[in-house]
C-alpha cells in the first residue's frame, strides 16, 4: 500500500523536531559539564570545562613548599587527569542521550578520548 506523501512529510518533520530537541539538550548539558582531579599528594586540584580548558585551580599547603618546576609538573599532570575524566563524562552523557552504541555517541566519545587520553601511569602515581 503506497504511503501518503503528507504522512511522510509529517513523519519527517516530527523526527527532525525530535533530533533538534535532543541535539539542543546535548549541547546544553555539555556546556554545563566540568571535571575535577586532585594530585595524588593533594598539592593541587584542577577543574576543566567542557572544552578541557582550565576553569579552576586550588593549591594545597604542600604546594607552597615545592620548587616551582615540580609544582608546574604536578599541575599539568593533574590537568591531564581532569581532562581524561572529562572525556569519560562526555562519553557517559552522550551515551545516555543517544545510546552508547549509537553513531553519535561513538563519534563524540571517540573525539574526546582522542583529544584527552588517559595520562600515562607515571603521571597518575605520587612522586
Taking residue 9's Cβ as centre, other Cβ atoms within 10 Å add up to 10
Residue closest to 50 by CA, chosen among 66, 27, 68, 22: 27
Render each residue's pLDDT in the chain as its tens digit; 127 residues. 567 889 999 999 999 999 999 999 999 999 999 999 999 999 999 999 999 999 999 999 999 999 999 999 999 999 999 999 999 999 999 999 999 999 999 999 999 999 999 998 765 444 4
The domains found in the chain, sorted by start residue, are 30-124 (3.30.1310.10)
pTM, entire model: 0.84
Contacts of 123 (CB under 8 A, 6+ apart): 77, 80, 81
Amino acid at each position: 500500500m503506497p504511503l501518503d506523501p503528507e504522512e511522510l512529510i509529517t513523519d519527517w518533520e516530527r523526527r527532525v523536531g525530535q533530533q533538534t530537541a535532543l541535539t539542543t539538550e546535548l549541547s546544553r548539558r555539555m556546556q554545563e559539564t566540568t571535571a575535577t582531579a586532585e594530585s595524588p599528594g593533594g598539592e593541587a586540584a584542577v577543574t576543566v570545562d567542557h572544552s578541557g580548558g582550565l576553569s579552576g585551580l586550588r593549591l594545597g599547603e604542600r604546594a607552597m613548599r615545592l620548587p616551582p618546576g615540580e609544582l608546574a609538573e604536578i599541575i599539568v599532570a593533574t590537568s591531564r587527569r581532569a581532562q581524561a575524566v572529562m572525556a569519560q563524562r562526555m562519553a557517559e552523557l552522550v551515551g545516555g542521550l543517544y545510546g552508547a552504541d549509537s553513531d553519535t555517541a561513538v563519534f563524540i566519545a571517540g573525539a574526546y578520548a582522542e583529544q584527552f587520553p588517559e595520562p600515562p601511569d607515571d603521571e597518575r602515581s605520587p612522586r
